Structure 1
Amino acid sequence: MSFLFAILFAGSIYTTAPHTEAPILQNAASVVSFAGDETDVKESSYPINPDGKVSLSNINGEVEVTGWDRPEVNLVTTKIASSRERLDDVDVKVTSRQDYFNVEVDYKKRKGKWVKNERLQVNFKLMVPRTALVDEIESVNGSVKVSSLSNTIKVSAVNGAVRGTGLTGKVNLATVNGSVLATFETLPADSDVRLSTVNGSTQIFLPSNSDATVKADSLNGAITNDFGLKVKKGKYVGRDLYGSIGAGTTNVRLTTVNGSIKIRRNDDGLPLNPVKNLLKQKTSDDFDETFDSAVEVGSAPKLAAEAARIATDSIKASKAIELEALRQSERIASVAVTADAESIEAAVGDVRAIEVDQDRLDAEIAAMTRSLEGIRSAPFIVEDSKSIRVEGIPNVVIDAEGCNVTVRGWDRDEVKYVVTRLAKGRTSPVRDISFSHNKTEVRLSVKVVGAASLDKVLEQVKVELYVPRESNLNIGTDREIRLVGVTGELDLNGKYGRIDVRDSGGALDIASWNGTVRVIGFDGKLDSRVGNADMYLDGDFQAITSYSKSGKVYLALSDDPGALISTNSMALDGVTMREGKTVLVNGMKVTHMSRDLWKIGAGESDYKFKFNKGALVVRPKNVLDTE
């Protein structure tokens, strides 16, 4: 029995102002229907003040709201049902005044049993004044799209994606199960932008010259950005980002519990505003917890509470569905805070006690429960450690697939490893640790049970290695590699994990497929092969040979740069150059010598970059913030 219609809805009586019927102006071809479905399309127009309030509550179906330059609301309603009889089981209630416009759906009580797989949904398309106060656009099952609006916009959903484009007012987009995406050609000055979800990704596109203060938190998911803002990684779970771009006048808040967060830069050709990291300054002891992309275990309840807030506050559409569907989402999310196993079981039982759309909703509830219930128990931690003395410049080989690897240089003639096993139960995820050595060579192999299960946030193995500052390294893992303070022949293969190298030198060879690469404070030669991720380079590179498939490479040069760059794709902050032309770009003297050859400053160093779809972005260090 359908979840949406098994519950008896309480209907309300609405007064409707006179309106005019109009010919269909909007194309309803985007409505998804199946063979044999019945449809009923109606269109009406209603006068409204340019700054009038607009709200809509839908239960099952898509919603699209677009701004235009008319003082009226154009409403296209498309009912879709499995039979003509079913079309009559839902009414669309409109309340219209000069300063207010509201739409709600009213599902009627029906005698007899519901037939399995019956369909009934209502899709809405609205054209509203650009300056209208779009205060509440709500949907239970269905996506929501809003565009070309300049006043306050508030959108929420339970099951469905939320999309916003061309928005310039105070923006609040939220969903429980689904992704959130917003694009801004200009940011509203001195305003707030908030994107949030529980299960899904969050993505925002910002102008290059934005003036914004950005805060982002993800409990189970990566955070990436195109602005060079620092991302902090929690010791066991979570990531967060906190920084400013330009003057920082607009507040941007991004949250998700289970999903990634991406802060993208528009391809607008505009110069990038300076950025500033606002995260707390790290200490010498927490490098491995803070270097790129943060929520400590103690902050997990805060995000879980945020999940509950989204689940309860994001929707008011249909009184009965609010009391049932959202109450269950709230209970499941809040279980992570209360750490009550019986509450989890009771919450899931309550949901299953309702006759719902089992194939979809139960699966979503179960997935949410599994994701959040792990937060309630503290990780079980076991460490293995061993050290040996070495002579000269040791060769150190690490094979640790399924492990996060951190290597630090120190002023001792010895190699020490620490393997930390982090699990939800008493069963260790480590199957075997092999450590062999002689005076000049050390080999460490860590075998992990289920190493391919990258999504097990609370079942991790961390390998820490301390080596003499002059050492040769060969590291292989499918997760993160972090290296600081080592000089030598450095071969790092991170496969799908991010790679971060700080204050090191020598000959660096990097391979990474999907992980972001940062090389900061390096002195020596670099050879890199990166797939679908960006790379950030800042150091004294004598030579660079780099191949990137689809990511960008951000190269920070000194105040007095000197590089001869060969590349098939160069991006120069909105500057287009003909061959033979010399211009100043961000204070750097740049000469386009030939099709694929560029000279910056005196041109002493030899850099070669090859791209499939990406590009090289060259900036002075005072523009690319790597702190």
Structure 2
Amino acid sequence: MASSLRLTLVIAALCAGNAAIADTVERTVPADARGEVEIINTSGDVQVRGWDRAEVQIHADLDDETEKLDVQSSQGRTTINVIRRGRSSSGSSDLIVEVPRDSTLLVKTVSADQTISDVRGVQRLQAVSGSISTRVWGEEITVRTISGDVIVAGHGTTSRTAVNTVSGDVNLSDVSGELNVETVTGDMQIRMPTLSRGRIQTTNGNLNLHAMLSADARLEAEAINGDLSFMFKQPVNVEFDVETFNGEIDNCFGPKSVRTREFAPGNALRFKEGNGSARVRVKTLNGGVEICK
């Protein structure tokens, strides 16, 4: 009886191990050096690396809930799709994908993290229940997450960066140019060598922005529940317009805020620093504002 039980347990353990990773697949297909690569994986991590070959190489660890790995490449477009059986959300199929360095990259994942490195083309990344970490080199990037953090590191080159998160923090460093960030329940840490155009909105989140404003920069920031902190590198030539309904305004440049209502909450601060060629507009409902240099 005991021997039979032990044998049963060993067989069960082996089956469980096989279920975790049912198959390892290696695929290589030709690709345009500046083509488009789309990756779809509904359960499993995705790592993408840029290289100098005109081909896409995939290493896939597929679980037993995966029906197949579908790879297509034609007319400058490569698609990689992990097709699962039914609607099962159990298990995980992980991908490591090498793509031409200058590819346009589109990645969609569910219950998976994305890690992108050395891809220098346009990036459009989406994740549900997963984080996204990437580096950019000057091309446009769009990132959307639900229940996932976003980390974007740049090289100081000018680009357009758009980030939208629901229940996720945002960390941007060394990205320059135009910025559009929207968060619901997520804090933002942003460092920009140069900011030319910016729009930042948060429902429940704090902002910490360090930036050099270009001569004609335009920045708008709004928060419903959250503190907004701005640190501007000198020289600062800005016309400021700041309003809070229920929050204090701390200004290192000198001028003090004034009450907008005698018997109700509300503060406002309007002043010009330097020649005032740039414009900064800030509004908060429940949250303070700090402006410093």
Would you say same fold, with TM above 0.5? yes
- 8 Å Cα contact 2:101/2:118 also seen in 1: yes
1:199 matched to 2:167? The reply is yes
1:218 matched to 2:202? The reply is yes
Look up the match of 1:155. Answer: 125
Once residues 220 and 96 of structure 2 are traced to their aligned partners in structure 1, the CA distance between those partners, rounded to angstroms, is 28
Indicate the SS of the match to 2:199.
strand
Per-residue deviation, residues 25-60 of structure 1 (Å, max 9, x unmatched): xxxxxxxxx977335222221111111110011111
In the superposition, relative to structure 1, how do residues 219 and 52 fare at CA in structure 2: closer, same or farther (>3 Å)?
same
Once residues 68 and 237 of structure 2 are traced to their aligned partners in structure 1, the CA distance between those partners, rounded to angstroms, is 53
One-letter code aligned to 1:129 = P
Once the two structures are TM-superposed, the CA of residue 288 in structure 1 deviates from its matched residue by: 5.0
Look up the match of 2:91. Answer: 120
1:57 matched to 2:34? The reply is no
- Specify which structure has the higher proportion of helix: 1
In the superposition, relative to structure 1, how do residues 286 and 38 fare at CA in structure 2: closer, same or farther (>3 Å)?
closer
Indicate the SS of the match to 2:69.
strand
1:144 matched to 2:114? The reply is yes
In the superposition, relative to structure 1, how do residues 408 and 180 fare at CA in structure 2: closer, same or farther (>3 Å)?
closer
Equivalent residue runs for 1:6-21 within 5 Å: none
One-letter code aligned to 1:126 = V
Once the two structures are TM-superposed, the CA of residue 210 in structure 1 deviates from its matched residue by: 2.6
One-letter code aligned to 1:149 = V
Number of residue pairs matched by the alignment: 237
Once the two structures are TM-superposed, the CA of residue 274 in structure 1 deviates from its matched residue by: 4.2
Look up the match of 2:4. Answer: none
Once residues 166 and 160 of structure 2 are traced to their aligned partners in structure 1, the CA distance between those partners, rounded to angstroms, is 20
Equivalent residue runs for 1:260-299 within 5 Å: 274-275=235-236, 277=238, 281-282=241-242, 291=250
RMSD of aligned C-alpha atoms? 4.3
Once residues 127 and 245 of structure 1 are traced to their aligned partners in structure 2, the CA distance between those partners, rounded to angstroms, is 37
Once the two structures are TM-superposed, the CA of residue 74 in structure 1 deviates from its matched residue by: 1.3
Look up the match of 1:45. Answer: 28
Once residues 150 and 105 of structure 1 are traced to their aligned partners in structure 2, the CA distance between those partners, rounded to angstroms, is 24
* TM-score using structure 1 length: 0.32
Per-residue deviation, residues 214-264 of structure 1 (Å, max 9, x unmatched): 32111111111223xxxxxxxxxxxxxxxx723578x99999999999999
Look up the match of 1:78. Answer: 61
Once the two structures are TM-superposed, the CA of residue 201 in structure 1 deviates from its matched residue by: 1.2
- Specify which structure has the higher proportion of strand: 2
In the superposition, relative to structure 1, how do residues 258 and 57 fare at CA in structure 2: closer, same or farther (>3 Å)?
farther
Equivalent residue runs for 1:597-612 within 5 Å: none
- 8 Å Cα contact 1:202/1:259 also seen in 2: no
Larger radius of gyration: 1
In the superposition, relative to structure 1, how do residues 54 and 264 fare at CA in structure 2: closer, same or farther (>3 Å)?
farther
* TM-score using structure 2 length: 0.65
In the superposition, relative to structure 1, how do residues 282 and 169 fare at CA in structure 2: closer, same or farther (>3 Å)?
closer
Task: Pick one of 132, 141, 158 that aligns with 1:171.
Answer: 141
- 8 Å Cα contact 2:21/2:61 also seen in 1: no
Sequence identity (%) = 19
Look up the match of 2:272. Answer: none
Indicate the SS of the match to 2:156.
coil
Q: Which has the higher contact order (CA 8 A, sep 6+)?
A: 2
Indicate the SS of the match to 1:120.
coil
Once residues 147 and 195 of structure 2 are traced to their aligned partners in structure 1, the CA distance between those partners, rounded to angstroms, is 30
Indicate the SS of the match to 2:42.
strand
Once the two structures are TM-superposed, the CA of residue 73 in structure 1 deviates from its matched residue by: 0.8
Once the two structures are TM-superposed, the CA of residue 90 in structure 1 deviates from its matched residue by: 2.4
In the superposition, relative to structure 1, how do residues 133 and 257 fare at CA in structure 2: closer, same or farther (>3 Å)?
farther
Once residues 229 and 41 of structure 2 are traced to their aligned partners in structure 1, the CA distance between those partners, rounded to angstroms, is 29
In the superposition, relative to structure 1, how do residues 219 and 109 fare at CA in structure 2: closer, same or farther (>3 Å)?
closer
Look up the match of 1:246. Answer: 214
Look up the match of 1:523. Answer: none
Once the two structures are TM-superposed, the CA of residue 212 in structure 1 deviates from its matched residue by: 3.3
In the superposition, relative to structure 1, how do residues 274 and 174 fare at CA in structure 2: closer, same or farther (>3 Å)?
farther
Indicate the SS of the match to 2:78.
strand
Once residues 256 and 408 of structure 1 are traced to their aligned partners in structure 2, the CA distance between those partners, rounded to angstroms, is 18
- 8 Å Cα contact 2:249/2:257 also seen in 1: no
Once the two structures are TM-superposed, the CA of residue 166 in structure 1 deviates from its matched residue by: 3.8
- 8 Å Cα contact 1:48/1:101 also seen in 2: yes
Indicate the SS of the match to 2:72.
strand
Indicate the SS of the match to 2:92.
strand
In the superposition, relative to structure 1, how do residues 78 and 274 fare at CA in structure 2: closer, same or farther (>3 Å)?
farther
In the superposition, relative to structure 1, how do residues 141 and 40 fare at CA in structure 2: closer, same or farther (>3 Å)?
same
Equivalent residue runs for 1:391-406 within 5 Å: none
